[in-house]
Structure 1
Amino acid sequence: MIHNAIINITNLRLRTYIGFNEEEKQKQQDIIINAEIHYPANNLCLRDDVENALNYKVICKNIIRHVESGRFLLLEKLTSDVLGLCVDNPQVSFAKVTIDKPHALRFADSVSLTLSYTKENLKGD
């Protein structure tokens, strides 16, 4: 029996250069990242075998490194990059990333963008 494991990274708060206005290019802004990552939790993983588990700490460190060292014009590009880091492991069957840009609009708490990935089953058709 294969169990579906779901890792959630909740409210990862980082700062980066995001936007194309001159002020946005000169000053880092806060962003909030939420990610959901699905992978099959096989019996070895469920028996506490570290080697067969998806290492969320490595994924999170890669996200932090990429976001904090990068410069992004569009929220779409940043979200796509973070999603790519979440699905970098071949075990991942589904992932969804939402990135919030607080205070991007004057009368709104935040603007956010969500992208998702679903692994296609490759069949010999």
Structure 2
Amino acid sequence: MLSNAIINITNLRLRTFIGFNPDEMQKQQDVVINIEIQYPASNGFANDDVEQALNYKTITKEIIHHVENGRFLLLEKLVSDVLDICSAHPWTRYAKVTVDKPHALRFADSVSLSLEWQKD
């Protein structure tokens, strides 16, 4: 018996308005997004049918559009929005999103926040 297929989107690098300080509201910043989406492995395996697979390209395009055209005061809101996009497909059983904000702290490489969603 097959369990979940796991799609990982690794280090999706985008630019957006993120933060509430005046300079952050005027200049786009880099964010790095990592995503894990799980869905039933049987979808797409049996017949090699594109229509039975979760289309990660479509999901990624929606994320890119939302992030690059959005404005976010909090990292929590950005992560939550991306998680909503990842979990919207009816086949999705589990999704986890981590967003890094490089150089957010002076002596750290980045600050990140993660959120998870699981179908009941």
Q: Matched residues in 2 for 1:96 and 1:4: separation?
A: 14
Q: How many residues align?
A: 119
Q: Secondary structure at the match of 1:116?
A: strand
The structural deviation recorded for 1:41 is 1.8
Query: In structure 2, what is the equivalent of residue 45 of structure 1?
Result: 44
Give unpaired runs (5+ residues) of structure 2: none
Q: Matched residues in 1 for 2:44 and 2:102: separation?
A: 37
Q: Secondary structure at the match of 1:89?
A: coil
Query: In structure 1, what is the equivalent of residue 112 of structure 2?
Result: 112
Query: In structure 1, what is the equivalent of residue 82 of structure 2?
Result: 82
TM-score when normalising by structure 2: 0.97
Instruction: Choose 22-31 or 1-10, whichever is displaced more.
Output: 1-10
Q: Matched residues in 1 for 2:84 and 2:33: separation?
A: 14
**Structure having the higher Rg:** 1
Q: Matched residues in 2 for 1:69 and 1:106: separation?
A: 27
Q: Matched residues in 1 for 2:18 and 2:96: separation?
A: 20
Q: Give the ranges of 4+ consecutive aligned residues of structure 1 lying more than 6 Å apart after TM superposition.
A: none
1:1-125 → structure 2 map (5 Å cutoff)? 1-42=1-42, 45-46=44-45, 47-120=47-120
TM-score when normalising by structure 1: 0.93
One-letter amino acid of the structure 2 residue matched with residue 92 of structure 1: T
Alignment RMSD (CA, Å): 0.8
The structural deviation recorded for 1:9 is 0.3
The structural deviation recorded for 1:3 is 3.0
Give unpaired runs (5+ residues) of structure 1: 121-125
